[in-house]
Each structure stands twice: as C-alpha cells, then as structure tokens.
Amino acid sequence: MDIEREEKTIKKKYKRINITEPLDFNSYSSNLDEKQQWCNILSIDGGGIPGIIPAIWLMELERQIRRPISSIVDVIADTSTEYFGSATLSDAKSELVIPAVKSGGSVTDIFTRFNSHQDSTKNFCLTDILMCTTAAPTYFPAYQFNSSVYVDGGVQANIPAMIAYDHASKSYPHYDRNRVRLLSLGTGDYVPDPLNLNANRNLLFWARNHQSVFKILMDGPQNNIDLHLNSVLGDNCYRWQIWLENPIDLDDIQDKSINRLIDLAHGHLEEMEAYDNRHRLGCLIEKFRS
C-alpha cells in the first residue's frame, strides 16, 4: 500500500502544471454583510520567504476552481507574508484582517476592511499597512505610519487565525459560530534547539542564533492557537503545515531554498491526496464551495 501511495505521489509530481487559463474575476465575491449559511475564513501565517509555501497552495486552489480565492473566502487574515499594490482596505473583495504591533510590543492594531467601511479615516492604503505588518525585528526597520511606529504583526500574532475568528464574530454578529470553516496555512516549521542546556549562552551565541531565537519567540505562544481552534471548530478546522528538517530563514533568497519550498508545498498537496484524508484538496474545495 505504501508503494502504491509513493508511485501515485511521484506521478502527480511530474504532472504539475502552471495556471494557464485566466481566472474568472467576475465570479461571486463573498460578503459577510449579507446573511449566508457558512463563514469561510482563510488565515496565512507569517514567515517571510517561506510564505512561498501557502502561495503555492493558494495557486493550486485557484487553478482547480478557476476563480480567485475571494470567490470562496469571506475573511482573510495575514501577517508578514504579503502582496503589494495601490489599493486601499475598502477595495478588498473579501474581509481583511491584518495585525501590526506598535513598537514596544504592548499593543496590536488590527486593520480591517470592516473598519474602513465604518470610518473613512481608517481606509488606509494597503501598502502602508503591509509595510507595518512586514517590519520583522532584526530584518527590517520599524515603520512609521499614522503617528505610530509599527513592527511585524507576527510578533504577537504569527498565526492570525484566532484574530480572524474573533473579528468575524464581533463585527458580523448575524453569522452562526457553529457554521464556520477555517483554512489555516502555515509557512513551514521545525523544532530548533539553540537553547539547549549544554550551550554556552554568551553574547556570541545569541548573535549567531538570533534568527532561531526570534522564531521561537514568535511561534511558541502561537502554536497553542491550533489546538484551541481545533477544539472549537472540530472537523471544520483545516490546518496545513509542513515540518522542516532544517530551518529556512525569513530572508533566505537562495535559489536552492526557494526551489525546496516550492517542492515541499507541491509535495504536501500530493501527499494529502495520496492518503485521501479529510484535509485533501478536493474535499476542502467541495466544502468551501457548498
């Protein structure tokens, strides 16, 4: 059985194709302002360059449904790994939830499309918001915006799924908490050991391992969110994550690292299909489109 599974995965690997057909951008765009049966939430972890992983997954979703993600998703939460443009929050087709931390780490501001509709002074340019939420400490300088200084939203919300869930329940009280589907996409994780008891933790140690230490500080408290949301949503919680044997830094732009991320992302989808479990792509598309 394992051999058959392996053969199936190998065949799919050689059948990978790029999106060649145009997407239907005139398709229905979800709107939580109207009463509907289900609320579909998409959450994307922070991660810098490893954000290639969820990008590949979303590309495959769009390739199969031939429509933009906004046609099946009501709320999108993201931090650290982003896209750029001249649009404002109110231009988004789906509800956006983007956290950014004010310098000092004590306050997290949540930028949303909902707030931009309620108050025109909060209809910020997406470029400014994304500069705030991608200002990862030790990688980029803090970003000054709207009389405040911001750093990466991943400092306090590297897995923004819970923020998206809470935002939807508070901002759109008409929707049923029992009819929520969540697709939470990770950017790859591993179990680092820079803090082992035998290590000589002098200044040189911290300097050499600052990226691993930073990742621990960002991911540690957030990993409990997976367990909590899974207990709340049960079978309606879909968590896709890849466990790495070796870390890939947020700023690693080497060709070999990028190719590795692309291969891992495709491989994860193919493995899910091969195992035919409830997280497989076809099953998820069927539920999200229903």
Distance CA 64, CA 21 (A): 10
Class of the CATH domain delimited by 37-289: alpha beta
Are residues 124 and 132 in contact, defined by beta-carbon separation less than 8 angstroms?
A: no
In the chain, where the domains are located: 37-289
Phi then psi dihedrals of residue 266, to 5 deg: -65, -40
Per-residue pLDDT for the chain (290 aa), expressed as one digit of tens each?
A: 566 666 666 666 656 655 456 666 665 555 555 556 788 999 998 878 999 999 999 998 888 888 888 888 889 988 655 555 668 999 888 899 988 888 765 688 899 999 999 999 999 999 899 888 888 877 788 899 988 888 876 666 667 888 888 888 887 777 777 788 999 999 988 765 545 545 545 545 445 555 555 555 555 555 567 777 888 888 888 889 998 878 788 888 999 999 999 999 999 988 887 776 666 777 788 887 76
Interstrand relation of 237-240 and 39-44 (parallel, antiparallel or unpaired): unpaired
Beta bridge partners of 183: 42, 238
Global confidence as pTM: 0.78
